Structure 1
Amino acid sequence: MGYGDEARDTYGGGAHDRSYGVDRYGPDQYYGADRPGADPYGADAYGADPYDDVPERRPHVRRRRRRGPVLAVVAVVLAGGGYWAATAGPLDGGADGGGPADPEARRTAERFLDGWSAGRMKAAARLTDSPAEAERILASFTEGLEIGKPKLTAGRDRADGDGGAQVTYTAKMPVRGLGTWTYDATLPLVREDGGAWRVRWELGVVHPKLTETEKFRLVREESAELDAVDRDGGAVSAADHPSLAGVLGLGGGRPQGAVQVVDRHTGDVRSTEARFGPRRGAGDGTLRTTVDAELQGAAEAAVERHVGGRNAGLVALDMDSGEVLAAANSPATGFNRAFQGTYAPGSTWKILTTAALLNKGAVSPETTVDCPKYLTVGKQFHNVETSEIPGATFREDFIHSCNTAFVALRGSLGDEEMTDVARQYFGIGEEWSTGVPSFDGEVPVPGDETEKAASLFGQGRLRANPLVMASVTATAATGTFRQPVIVAGQEPSASASALPEGVVEQLRALMRDTVTEGSAQVLAGLPGDVGAKTGTAEVTATGPNNGWLVAYRDGVAVACVVEDAESGSGDAGPVVREVLEAVG
């Protein structure tokens, strides 16, 4: 009997400076933007990538030797204006710093960032003291560097000594086809005579290194043919493992690039601000990976055999190290869904929700948490085929994946608690240094009670992919977050606290029972220590779903998503079972 895992909720889902000579894009081309018709509480507004087989969306590697022409060099020529000389670090007050800024100053800063991130350059520019110049420079910077929809988040604020204010912000700039450029900057604000706050327009508003003497240039190149080896030193190639072309950039001829700081007058390169593509693991030009060639082959074969040409992604991790043992996609040489997909995780997310509830002592496996057919929180939630479990224990709710029971527990967690737990114990919200471009998950604070209810069972605005969910599974099963990595020699950039031992024991028991008695019985009979969680994430109210299954067996965690699915167990289950059968 299936309940929530196979469950769906009821609501379904400026003028251009022609001197730059670059292709112009609208501000909202699927790079983080809401697509028309996508319900923010439905599953995956972004799951089906619109660029399935466009080579420029694949991950890229740094060149070992020059091969092929430079594809494009885009200079962002921003003239005029002053230069804000403040550093990009946080505002900590200090001896010469004031207290918190006027709340209206912060609101002005947030409105400016919101306008810029949404591509409303004119609206953002009106909040500055130099609207015409601000609109021109914001447009030329964003479009000239081929940035999609930026994600700009206000940080700390303070009043400064001359009656103004400062607000830091973090910028995540998705450079088309390459990856995300992240940096910190500061907005200076001044109060006009009439009392309104304005952003004081200076070049450093956009980036601290943008000055009257230096500008940015985007360089795109083709990657060279790359020699790569697996964890044991054996050669791996795109010919033998097609998915590694998309994941690691094997095979050459793929876009890579950098954002450079150059002298405005001479064009000399002063520094490289951001580089896109994986780092090599050795100085001899060989890419040293963590891949297990045998398991990689099994993963690719399983995906090809069971998904029937649909879009899919899979990641297998060593739970004790975080090393990626296998990564597969369908189509094999298409978009890297395994590492860069942005899907709602569906009921697989209940692992993390359960960790939060157990850690807080809000429930135990034997706590009675009724599983009704319906529960309304702004919108009506229900389980598959309006199933119910009267008088259910939390254990039954978990193993049968009852959505309404999890929604009923929303008052047990604070609005920010899921976001905090995801970061504190699971490393989600940090930037992961995996060795290749990756999307490392997103757990926003819910905007209202309806969104909060949806987020408890993996819908709402939550975003993840097989890399993230394999890591969540490994963390839940071991109690320790180990940042995933696929290129050897990476220094982990994210860390997290260990889950309490009692929480880990209960999570493992729940996941084991899901295999033996619950919705993941597709894995029943596998030898060894096996635990799992299924999930079915809604994409639209009437269309097909995304099917998820996450599982572990004998030290290996696997996560798989299959688009256009009926259920997690039915569509992702056979893939995961075959991969786990290959675990030695």
Structure 2
Amino acid sequence: MPDAPHFTPPSRRRPRNGVRAVAAVGVVLALAAGGSYAAGFGPFARGDDGPDPAATKQARAFLADWAAGRLPSAAGRTTRPDTAREVLQSFTAGLDIAEPELTAAVSEAKEAKDGTLGVPFTAKMPIKGLGTWSYESRLPLREQDDGTWKVDWRLSLVHPRLSDTAKFRLEREETTPPQVTDRHGTSLSGGGYPSLTPLLGRLAGSTGGGPRGTVELIDRATGDTVRTEASFGEEPDPATDGKPVRTTLDATWQSAAEKALAEADGKNAALVALRIDDGEVLALANSPSTGFNRAASGTYAPGSTWKIVTSGALLLKGAVKPDDVVDCPKYLTVGKEFHNVETSEYPGATFRKDFTESCNTAFISLRGRLDDGELGEVARTYFGVGQEWHIGIPTYDGSVPVPKDETEKAASMIGQGRVQANPLIMASVTATAVSGEFHQPSVTAGNEDKTRTEPLPDEVVTQLRELMRATVTDGTARVLADLPGEIGAKTGTAEVSEDQDNNGWLVAHRGNVAVAVVVEEGVTGGGSAGPVVHSLLSAVPEDPS
């Protein structure tokens, strides 16, 4: 930052007229007599509850201009515009400060001995790539001859330690992010895994290998460091410093997942594949590959893939059995009209048929067999949905609120209403359903696990596996029937709004892997997400190593 010029504080102004001159003499006489500063003269009038509103308005306006980068305007509100503009510019640019947050505490304004009004403020200075430097300072405001107020410019208002003998310098420590690898040690930093690009920096930083730096107060004359004002970044862990960050991902699966999303025909889509026995994520892919991580942080209605959880809740309670007759009409009205995809109907259908053909009306007709909060409780207790997950990257962990009315309860039975999930959650739901045990998903090792779940009974697991297998051999997931291995699956079609096509879902399991895919505005699960899952499972071994 260029050195600010040495200067002396501006002298106090002369009285504007005879009345002010007499008042000034009165103040001097009062002080000479041992009295205090007369409260009626200055920013606080006798009996007033606070400072002159015009003064605090100017303080707020100065801070707002500074925060917004309107530095000429901010400087124009001071008693030394040219100097103020130069210093503000060099301070923010020299320290790589972007979008400061400056908050005035006008209720704590106090009159100083030099006749200025001091308005405290809190500064939060985001330094690019490092973090936020926070400190407190004070704006001195002085009333001018024309009755207006200006910020009485001095270096210390920018920061209390900024002066004509000391300034600040930003020191960045050059760090080389550690290499990120898959579970077998294969580097994931290349261009072959575009969906991972937004995550690699965060994964590398998890070992303390992220950017580091300091804001130093230095002597203007010698350049020596007087003190360190702020430090950013974690010190590297000696046990991991310089070592690759190993993830649970599998390069083969990740590459196949990236390619499989091409089957989504350019629509927004996301995919997660994870191991059933321990929850380790093998692949996580998004289309488009840059920006938002739909796969783990998206919030979607899961549609009929949620019928896995609904079926689990009904089977746990003994409220239905696979061979029970549960009629599947075209329409069912519960506050609003619900219907099946393409208004299909299956008179006299068994519950097994309702599941494999994804009959909405049949599932909704069973809502009275579950208590209002029971579906959410089962989702949380057995499937871990809605609990706090720590997988190594940011996630959204699902929500199944207690329905507000009968219509919302009907919608929640088929994964609509306020039920929210994403591919990570639905891959985990699938893994739990076919194994009986929830395992917190993970992308890195050693994550905290705060989840508490109970295992599903073996009988329920057997029934869910049979239902999902039948959906592939005889139901809506026939798109996967030609693949090797005993695949089980569930399709889903989720309504979004009247102005958008439905989202398409498909979840599946084969061997020790569970997969979930969502295709935004894919219309149907089998037609949009089905080809994505088919492409993935065609390109990878039946079981990961």
Q: State TM-score, norm by structure 1.
A: 0.59
Q: CA deviation at 1:70?
A: 5.9
Within the alignment, does 1:350 sit opposite 2:302 as a pair? no
Q: CA deviation at 1:287?
A: 2.2
* Corresponding residue SS for 2:255: helix
Deviates more, 1:478-487 or 1:537-546: 537-546
Matches within 5 A, 1:222-301: 225-249=177-201, 282-284=240-242, 286-301=244-259
Q: CA deviation at 1:241?
A: 0.7
Change in 2 beyond 3 A, CA 1:527/1:69: farther
Change in 2 beyond 3 A, CA 1:511/1:17: farther
Deviates more, 1:328-337 or 1:404-413: 328-337
Change in 2 beyond 3 A, CA 1:522/1:460: same
Match of 1:211 in 2: none
Change in 2 beyond 3 A, CA 1:234/1:389: same
Within the alignment, does 1:413 sit opposite 2:365 as a pair? no
What letter matches 2:185 in structure 1? G
Cα distance between partner residues in 2 of 1:298 and 1:390: 41
Answer yes or no: is the 8 Å Cα contact 1:536–1:546 preserved in 2: yes
Answer yes or no: is the 8 Å Cα contact 1:281–1:489 preserved in 2: no
Cα distance between partner residues in 1 of 2:249 and 2:102: 39
What letter matches 1:243 in structure 2? S
Match of 1:391 in 2: 348
Equivalent residue for 1:528, pick from 465, 485, 489: 485
Q: How many percent of aligned residue pairs carry the same amino acid?
A: 55
Match of 2:324 in 1: 367
Higher relative contact order (CA 8 A, sep 6+): 1
Structure number with greater Rg is: 2
Change in 2 beyond 3 A, CA 1:248/1:359: farther
Matches within 5 A, 1:98-497: 225-249=177-201, 282-284=240-242, 286-304=244-262, 306-497=263-454
Cα distance between partner residues in 2 of 1:491 and 1:252: 18
Cα distance between partner residues in 1 of 2:107 and 2:390: 36
Match of 2:148 in 1: none
Within the alignment, does 1:498 sit opposite 2:450 as a pair? no
Cα distance between partner residues in 2 of 1:70 and 1:575: 44
Match of 1:558 in 2: 515
Q: CA deviation at 1:580?
A: 1.7
Answer yes or no: is the 8 Å Cα contact 1:311–1:562 preserved in 2: yes
* Corresponding residue SS for 1:551: strand
Match of 1:107 in 2: none
Cα distance between partner residues in 1 of 2:451 and 2:199: 21
Cα distance between partner residues in 1 of 2:280 and 2:192: 21
Match of 1:7 in 2: none
Q: State TM-score, norm by structure 2.
A: 0.63
* Corresponding residue SS for 1:235: coil
Cα distance between partner residues in 1 of 2:308 and 2:299: 18
Number of aligned residue pairs: 382
Cα distance between partner residues in 2 of 1:145 and 1:462: 39
Answer yes or no: is the 8 Å Cα contact 1:238–1:250 preserved in 2: no
Cα distance between partner residues in 2 of 1:288 and 1:70: 33
Match of 1:570 in 2: 527
Structure 2 residue runs of 5 or longer lacking an equivalent are 1-56, 70-93, 109-120, 131-172, 213-226
Match of 1:152 in 2: none
The superposition leaves residues 437-486 of structure 1 with CA deviations (integer Å, 9 ceiling, x where unpaired) of: 11111111111110110011011011111101000000001000000111
Cα distance between partner residues in 2 of 1:431 and 1:402: 32
What letter matches 2:438 in structure 1? F
Q: Which has the higher helix share?
A: 2
Change in 2 beyond 3 A, CA 1:257/1:354: farther
Cα distance between partner residues in 2 of 1:280 and 1:524: 51
Cα distance between partner residues in 2 of 1:578 and 1:369: 35
* Corresponding residue SS for 1:375: strand
Cα distance between partner residues in 2 of 1:269 and 1:363: 63
What letter matches 1:307 in structure 2? A
Cα distance between partner residues in 2 of 1:375 and 1:247: 45
Answer yes or no: is the 8 Å Cα contact 2:179–2:204 preserved in 1: no
Cα distance between partner residues in 1 of 2:521 and 2:231: 48
Answer yes or no: is the 8 Å Cα contact 1:230–1:293 preserved in 2: yes
Change in 2 beyond 3 A, CA 1:377/1:77: same
What letter matches 1:494 in structure 2? T
Answer yes or no: is the 8 Å Cα contact 2:180–2:204 preserved in 1: no
Cα distance between partner residues in 2 of 1:412 and 1:145: 56
Q: CA deviation at 1:564?
A: 1.9
Change in 2 beyond 3 A, CA 1:393/1:491: same
Q: CA deviation at 1:346?
A: 0.5
Cα distance between partner residues in 1 of 2:331 and 2:175: 53
CA RMSD across the alignment: 3.7
Answer yes or no: is the 8 Å Cα contact 2:178–2:242 preserved in 1: no
Cα distance between partner residues in 1 of 2:348 and 2:238: 56
Answer yes or no: is the 8 Å Cα contact 1:280–1:287 preserved in 2: no
Q: CA deviation at 1:534?
A: 0.2
Q: CA deviation at 1:340?
A: 0.9
Cα distance between partner residues in 2 of 1:485 and 1:307: 26
* Corresponding residue SS for 1:327: strand
The superposition leaves residues 153-210 of structure 1 with CA deviations (integer Å, 9 ceiling, x where unpaired) of: xxxxxxxxxxxxxxxxxxxxxxxx99xxxxxxxxxxxxxxxxxxxxxxxxxxxxxxxx
The superposition leaves residues 491-537 of structure 1 with CA deviations (integer Å, 9 ceiling, x where unpaired) of: 32323111111100000000000000000000102222210000011
Q: CA deviation at 1:555?
A: 0.7
Answer yes or no: is the 8 Å Cα contact 1:280–1:286 preserved in 2: no
Structure 1 residue runs of 5 or longer lacking an equivalent are 1-14, 25-67, 83-139, 147-176, 179-220, 259-265
Q: CA deviation at 1:237?
A: 1.4
What letter matches 1:574 in structure 2? P
Change in 2 beyond 3 A, CA 1:437/1:250: closer
Cα distance between partner residues in 1 of 2:251 and 2:438: 24
Change in 2 beyond 3 A, CA 1:414/1:81: farther
Q: CA deviation at 1:246?
A: 2.8
Change in 2 beyond 3 A, CA 1:247/1:357: farther
What letter matches 2:298 in structure 1? G
Match of 1:544 in 2: 501
Change in 2 beyond 3 A, CA 1:432/1:74: farther
Q: CA deviation at 1:574?
A: 0.8
Match of 2:45 in 1: none
Q: CA deviation at 1:343?
A: 0.6
Change in 2 beyond 3 A, CA 1:375/1:562: same
Answer yes or no: is the 8 Å Cα contact 1:318–1:555 preserved in 2: yes
* Corresponding residue SS for 1:392: coil
